[in-house]
């Protein structure tokens, strides 16, 4: 496997398919897009299968000096691997989700999704700072088209807001990157990761990166583009936006800000904690009063992402691992929830919660899946949400019990708004005639629901599959942060483990212990 440029291949397959789609007819475009995303998914599985857990930090590295000033340098670590897996897993489902829903300009639509996939894989695998920035920014263009052409009534406003908001954040990061390149004299990310920037400079660089990543994240108070973008985007657009694009911000935190500017991260962690605490409580409360299903889920995304940021800045193994699991879990679950909304939107063409009710009677299979994803979003044990939230809150508690306290209320509020949503949509009397006429899931919808549900449960029951590749990388980040890490307020003392006893020696051991006393 070594030496084969599998990452370049994973970038090339959707890119070439995108060009083909742009010129193909409607039906052909759908088939090409599905085929290409499935092929990329298979490549992703090969990537995962060949990833050597505990091996070198950067694997599948490729390097070609194509651009003079910077390089075509690709390579992944465990965190990038998992996020790439998430993206290639969601992509075929997105294509399937828009199989019938998108009727005009299908070729362009599929091309945009495939371009999006190329860009996302590129962001997660870039090993060169400028290459990363190019991929990072390029994501604006397909998303602008997806929201603007195939979105809802207010799509143009949403597309502009999305584009300009995120662009404004990103350009400041570009200036910071220029300063970093000038200081360190290289664009190579692994080298920059171990470069010690002067602390005074770190603060400015951190703030510039924060300006960009907080918008992408999105963190309160710069989250306002997200509900608009989600509500107006087509179903698959929301799936990919919530599933993958929101992870770019937290990936940037973990890949750049924390290991590259450890001192500034420690110095300014209060900003992150404060904004996260406000976001958890505020956006959860806002979610509670929404009458639009997509808006509700969008606000819940902001709340979940706030727990991610707090978990990351806990600076310890549990916090960061938990944050990563929330990222993966939220990727699957929020995409699934948006799809659940899409399923009934396709039937009734409204996202008003009040227009529904009693779906459990005529759409039992749908109600079952919706319940599963609702529970996963709340964080019920056995689902993916629980693992991530528990781990990250544990980590946050070590850093600051107050932050943990406030963030935990988010879980309670989360249960409130999700269950309230579920009750209004699925339970109650089935009295509306048009709702009565809605058929249950089609085969295509089953095909999308089942893999999402399976992964949500897998991640909840055996998270080790997902944690194992990332553990070493998290340890590296934690070690990098260790010198700057402030003391937590938990004052945890490591308990003294008793020596293990062999079977049958219990009584004897107890006697001996007693004897010593």
Partner 1 sequence: MTADLMLIWPELILTIGGLVTLMLGTFAGDRQVGLYQVSALLTLAAAAAAVVALFGVETTVFSGTLSVDGFGGFAKLLIYAASFVCIIIAPRFFGGGMRAEYPTLILFAALGMGIMASSRDLMTLYVGLELNSLAAYVLASFMRTDERSSEAGLKYFVLGALASGMLLYGISLLYGFTGTTDFAGIATVLGGELNIGLIFGIVFVLAGLGFKISAVPFHMWTPDVYEGAPTPVTTFFATAPKVAAMALMTRVVIDAMGPAVGAWQQIVIFLSLASIILGAVGAIGQKNIKRLLAYSSINNVGFMLVGLAAGTPQGVEGVLTYLLVYMLTTLGAFLVVLQLRDADGNQVESIPALAGLSQRRPGLAAAMAVFLFSLAGIPPLFGFWPKYLVFEAAVNANLLPLAVAGIVASVIGAFYYIAIIKTMYFDDKSDTEIPAGGGAIVEDAVITASALWLSVIGYLFIPLLAVLSASAAAVLF
> Minimum distance from CB of 6 to partner 1 (Å)?
20
> Minimum distance from CB of 268 to partner 1 (Å)?
19
User: Does residue number 210 form part of the binding site for partner 1 (CB under 8 A)?
Assistant: no
DSSP per-residue codes, 437-459: T-----HHHHHHHHHHHHHHHHH
> Minimum distance from CB of 171 to partner 1 (Å)?
4
Work out the end-to-end distance of the chain between its first and last CA atoms, rounded to an integer number of angstroms.
61
Dist. CA 68–CA 447, nearest whole Å? 46
In sequence order, the 6+-apart residues with CB closer than 8 A to the CB of 305 are: 217, 218, 219, 246, 249, 250, 279, 330
Contact 64, 72 (CB under 8 A): yes
Angle, alpha carbons 90-91-93 (nearest 5°): 70
Using CB under 8 A, which residues numbered 463 to 492 contact partner 1?
A: none
Q: Which is nearer to partner 1, 130 or 239 (CB)?
A: 130
Q: How many CA atoms lie within 13 A of 505 on its CB side?
A: 8
Dist. CA 279–CA 249, nearest whole Å? 15
Q: Are strands 72-76 and 59-64 parallel, antiparallel or unpaired?
A: antiparallel
Using CB under 8 A, which residues numbered 104 to 143 contact partner 1?
A: 105, 108, 130, 133-135, 137-138, 140-141
Contact with partner 1 (CB under 8 A): which of 38, 39, 46, 181? 181
Contact 253, 213 (CB under 8 A): yes
> Minimum distance from CB of 159 to partner 1 (Å)?
7
Site pattern 1..20 for partner 1 (x: CB under 8 A): --------------------
Residue 73 β-bridge partners: 63
Q: Which is nearer to partner 1, 132 or 422 (CB)?
A: 132
> Minimum distance from CB of 65 to partner 1 (Å)?
8
> Rounded to an integer, what is the distance from CA 329 to the centroid of its chain?
7
Given the rule CB under 8 A, which of 174-182, 186-194, 274-282, 466-474 is the region that contacts partner 1? Answer: 174-182
User: Does residue number 172 form part of the binding site for partner 1 (CB under 8 A)?
Assistant: yes
> Minimum distance from CB of 489 to partner 1 (Å)?
37
Inter-axis angle of helices 106-125 and 129-138, nearest 10? 150
Q: Which is nearer to partner 1, 179 or 416 (CB)?
A: 179
Contact with partner 1 (CB under 8 A): which of 56, 175, 510, 513? 175
Contact with partner 1 (CB under 8 A): which of 16, 46, 101, 167? 167
Q: Which is nearer to partner 1, 185 or 381 (CB)?
A: 185
Contact with partner 1 (CB under 8 A): which of 89, 163, 197, 273? 163
Residue in 97, 350, 443 with CA at minimum distance from that of residue 240: 97
3-class state of residue 73 by DSSP: strand
Q: Encoding tokens for residue 13?
A: 């397959």
Q: Which is nearer to partner 1, 66 or 450 (CB)?
A: 66
User: Does residue number 89 form part of the binding site for partner 1 (CB under 8 A)?
Assistant: no
Contact 87, 95 (CB under 8 A): no
Using CB under 8 A, which residues numbered 387 to 446 contact partner 1?
A: none
Contact with partner 1 (CB under 8 A): which of 160, 390, 420, 427? 160
Contact with partner 1 (CB under 8 A): which of 2, 49, 54, 68? 68
Question: At 264, which helix (H) or strand (E)?
Answer: helix 262-267
User: Does residue number 197 form part of the binding site for partner 1 (CB under 8 A)?
Assistant: no
Binding site for partner 1 (CB under 8 A): 66-69, 105, 108, 130, 133-135, 137-138, 140-141, 144-145, 148-149, 155-156, 159-160, 163-164, 167-168, 171-172, 174-175, 178-179, 181-182
């Amino acid at each position: 496997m070594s030496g084969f440029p599998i990452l370049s291949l994973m970038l090339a397959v959707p890119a070439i398919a995108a060009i083909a789609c742009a010129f193909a007819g409607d039906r052909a475009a759908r088939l090409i897009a599905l085929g290409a995303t499935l092929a990329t998914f298979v490549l992703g599985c090969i990537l995962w299968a060949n990833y050597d857990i505990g091996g070198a930090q950067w694997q599948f590295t490729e390097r070609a000096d194509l651009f003079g000033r910077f390089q075509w340098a690709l390579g992944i670590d465990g965190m990038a691997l998992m996020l790439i897996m998430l993206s290639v897993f969601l992509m075929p489902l997105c294509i399937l989700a828009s199989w019938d829903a998108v009727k005009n300009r299908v070729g362009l639509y599929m091309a945009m999704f495939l371009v999006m996939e190329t860009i996302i894989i590129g962001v997660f695998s870039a090993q060169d700072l400028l290459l990363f920035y190019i991929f990072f920014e390029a994501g604006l263009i397909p998303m602008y088209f997806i929201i603007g052409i195939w979105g809802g009534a207010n799509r143009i406003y949403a597309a502009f807001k999305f584009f300009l908001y995120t662009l404004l954040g990103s350009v400041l990061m570009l200036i910071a990157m220029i300063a970093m390149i000038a200081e360190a004299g290289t664009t190579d990310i692994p080298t920059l990761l171990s470069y010690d920037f002067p602390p005074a400079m770190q603060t400015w660089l951190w703030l510039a990166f924060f300006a960009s990543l907080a918008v992408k994240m999105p963190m309160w108070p710069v989250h306002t583009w997200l509900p608009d973008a989600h509500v107006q985007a087509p179903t698959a657009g929301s799936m990919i936006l919530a599933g993958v694009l929101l992870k770019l911000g937290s990936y940037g935190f973990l890949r750049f800000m924390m290991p590259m500017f450890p001192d500034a991260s420690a110095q300014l962690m209060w900003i992150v904690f404060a904004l996260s605490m406000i976001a958890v409580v505020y956006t959860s409360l806002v979610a509670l009063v929404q009458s639009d299903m997509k808006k509700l889920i969008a606000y819940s995304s902001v709340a979940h992402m706030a727990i991610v940021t707090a978990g990351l800045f806990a600076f310890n193994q549990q916090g960061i691992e938990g944050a990563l699991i929330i990222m993966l879990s939220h990727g699957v679950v929020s995409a699934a929830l948006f799809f659940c909304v899409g399923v009934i939107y396709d039937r009734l063409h409204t996202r008003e919660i009040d227009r529904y009710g009693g779906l459990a009677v005529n759409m039992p299979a749908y109600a079952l899946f919706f319940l599963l994803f609702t529970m996963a979003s709340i964080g019920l044990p056995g689902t993916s949400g629980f693992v991530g939230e528990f781990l990250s809150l544990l980590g946050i508690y070590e850093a600051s019990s107050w932050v943990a306290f406030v963030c935990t209320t988010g879980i309670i509020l989360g249960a409130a708004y999700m269950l309230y949503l579920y009750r209004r949509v699925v339970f109650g009397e089935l009295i509306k005639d048009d709702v009565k006429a809605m058929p249950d899931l089609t085969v295509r919808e089953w095909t999308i629901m089942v893999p999402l549900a399976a992964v949500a449960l897998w991640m909840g029951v055996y998270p080790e599959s997902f944690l194992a590749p990332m553990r070493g990388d998290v340890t590296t980040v934690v070690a990098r942060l260790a010198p700057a890490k402030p003391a937590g307020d938990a004052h945890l003392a490591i308990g003294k483990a008793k020596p293990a006893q062999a079977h049958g020696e219990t009584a004897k051991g107890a006697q001996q212990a007693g004897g010593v006393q």
